[in-house]
């Protein structure tokens, strides 16, 4: 009954979240990218601000975020995340400060077929003010920082315009990024539209992609830590089945369907009988790795080049290195360089990576990892075979026990009674009391079965 009450409570929370999402959706209409082609906001400079207009274009940019920001604690709806992502596409690697961004309400109304009028402007005005409440908690060691995505939102009455400004406290996490950051293609952020947790899982996975050297990689999170990052209340999804159903599964399924990553497996890890952690294994999709795409400077770039730019290599150099070394060599040496950086061996990531690419230092490292992976795989297979054998032995023992009892029960009632009396006289008084209190077939009790069968065999009864 208690579990049912909790399930009903969780369902009510889910319905409440959905109602809030629908209620707030209007102000983010211009972020709803539902077409099969990629939609990216283009910028037109005007009055010292950037106008954002949605146009059906093929331009794709790289979104860059500090790893600390990706791992931060915050909660945004799908459309709020799209708003942030759209504005992030306008940031260039060499930008030193944020700019103001203006959105015209009339354009939104025309684009999505919304009836224009005073009520439209009033609702937009109220919704715009809510953007200031998008809180973030960023942890750096023992230090915690609290900020909002936007520090300023202005509704320009009469013009039907909304002006947005990123909070300046986010500059270290979005501007002039040189290390410990992750880059990914903007079109994937816009296509993740079914679950508000999809983009969070995707960013956490992309942050670890280079560890796979172009192949499989994984991430592992304690469920308590994951709930904290996603800012999920203690009263939400209290049962793991609901957490898996509404948070984990929809997000991973969507990532698998529309992004450049394939989800290989999601393992639920236990401490005792309770599931306490998850381990997600993924790999890049082969068919999109070398797909040419267009960036803001109209140069073609591959995903290998995007991986290079994500760690501070200029797009021009990235293109040269991709043509010279190829995708696989690039990816495995990025992974090797990042591994060495984590161990404190890298002073300049650019110089170190360049040296590694020339010597293909990542090749031997990759081979070693593959050997270790094969050893680990062999160990896992040995454990699985051992468990299978043990299970087989247990099943065989169970069947033999069942067969022995079935054979015993085919004997005459006098023989059965005599053997039960003999067994009863061989055990102590406490056990004898339990034996006699059994209404029928006391030998079926697990505490007696094995010894009873031994007695039967010793007396050549079966």
Name every residue whose Cβ is closer than 8 Å to that of residue 324 and which is 6 or more positions away in sequence. Answer: none
* pLDDT score of 46: 30
Taking Cα atoms as reference points, which of 304, 338, 343 lies closest to residue 320? 304
Q: Which residues pair with 261 in a beta bridge?
A: 284
What length is written for the chain?
A: 462
Instruction: Kindly report whether the global pTM for this prediction surpasses the value 0.85.
Output: no
Taking Cα atoms as reference points, which of 164, 138, 139 lies closest to residue 151? 164
* pLDDT tens-digit map of 343-384: 888 888 888 899 899 888 888 777 777 777 778 778 888 888
Look at the block and give the residue holding tokens 């992976």: 373
404 within 8 A of 462, measured Cβ to Cβ: yes
Instruction: Return the CATH number of 24-191, one of 1.10.3720.10, 3.90.1520.10, 1.10.10.10, 2.60.120.310.
Output: 1.10.10.10
DSSP assignment of 238-302, as one string?
Answer: -SHHHHIIIIIHHHHHHHHHHSSEEEEEEEEEEETTEEEEEEEEEEE-HHHHT--EE-TTS-EE-
* pLDDT tens-digit map of 249-291: 999 999 999 998 999 999 999 988 899 999 999 998 854 333 3
* pLDDT tens-digit map of 45-72: 232 233 333 333 334 578 899 999 999 9
Q: Which of residues 308 and 40 earns the better pLDDT score? A: 308
Q: Where in the chain is the domain with CATH 1.10.10.10?
A: 24-191
Q: Which residues pair with 65 in a beta bridge?
A: 182
For residues 231-266, one letter each, b for 16 or more C-beta atoms within 10 angstroms of the residue's C-beta and e for the rest, the string is bbeeebbeeeebbbebbbebbbebbeebbbbebeee
Q: Which residues pair with 35 in a beta bridge?
A: none
- CA distance linking residue 136 with residue 121, whole number of Å: 28
* pLDDT score of 277: 94
Share of the chain above pLDDT 70, in %: 77
Specify the pairing of strand 100-104 against strand 49-56: parallel
């Amino acid at each position: 009954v208690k579990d049912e009450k909790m399930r009903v409570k969780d369902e009510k929370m889910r319905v409440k979240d959905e109602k809030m999402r629908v209620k707030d959706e209007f102000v983010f209409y211009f972020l709803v990218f539902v077409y099969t082609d990629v939609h990216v906001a283009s910028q037109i400079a005007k009055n010292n601000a950037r106008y954002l207009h949605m146009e059906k274009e093929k331009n794709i940019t790289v979104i860059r975020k500090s790893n600390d920001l990706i791992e931060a604690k915050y909660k945004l709806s799908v459309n709020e995340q799209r708003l942030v992502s759209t504005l992030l596409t306008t940031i260039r690697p060499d930008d030193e400060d944020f700019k103001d961004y203006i959105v015209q309400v009339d354009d939104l109304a025309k684009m999505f077929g919304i009836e224009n009028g005073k009520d439209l402007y009033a609702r937009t005005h109220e919704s715009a003010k809510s953007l200031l409440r998008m809180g973030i908690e960023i942890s750096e060691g023992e230090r915690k920082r609290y900020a909002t995505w936007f520090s300023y939102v202005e509704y320009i009455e009469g013009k039907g315009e909304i002006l947005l400004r990123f909070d300046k406290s986010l500059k270290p996490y979005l501007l002039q990024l040189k290390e410990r950051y992750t880059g990914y293609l903007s079109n994937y952020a816009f296509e993740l539209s079914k679950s508000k947790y999809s983009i969070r899982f995707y960013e956490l996975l992309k942050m670890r992609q280079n560890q796979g050297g172009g192949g499989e990689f994984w991430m592992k999170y304690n469920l308590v830590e994951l709930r904290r990052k996603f800012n999920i209340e203690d009263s939400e999804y209290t049962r793991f089945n609901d957490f898996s159903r509404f948070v984990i599964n929809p997000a991973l399924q969507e990532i698998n369907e529309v992004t450049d990553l394939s989800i290989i497996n999601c393992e639920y890890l236990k401490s005792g009988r309770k599931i306490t952690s998850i381990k997600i294994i993924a790999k890049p999709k082969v068919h999109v790795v070398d797909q040419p795409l267009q960036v803001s400077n109209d140069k073609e770039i591959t995903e290998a080049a995007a991986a290079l730019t994500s760690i501070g290599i200029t797009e021009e150099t990235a293109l040269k290195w991709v043509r010279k070394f190829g995708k696989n060599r690039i990816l495995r040496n990025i992974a090797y360089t990042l591994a060495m950086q984590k161990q404190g061996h890298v002073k300049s990531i650019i110089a170190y990576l360049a040296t590694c690419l020339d010597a293909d230092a990542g090749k031997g490292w990759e081979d070693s990892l593959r050997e270790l992976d094969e050893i680990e795989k062999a160990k896992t297979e040995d454990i699985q075979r051992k468990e299978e054998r043990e299970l087989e032995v247990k099943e065989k023992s169970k069947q033999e026990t069942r067969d022995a009892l079935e054979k015993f029960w085919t004997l005459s009632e006098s023989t059965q009674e005599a053997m039960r009396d003999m067994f009863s006289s061989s055990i102590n008084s406490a056990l004898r009391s339990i034996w006699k209190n059994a209404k029928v077939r006391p030998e079926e009790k697990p505490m007696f079965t094995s010894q009873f069968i031994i007695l039967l065999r010793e007396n050549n009864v079966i």
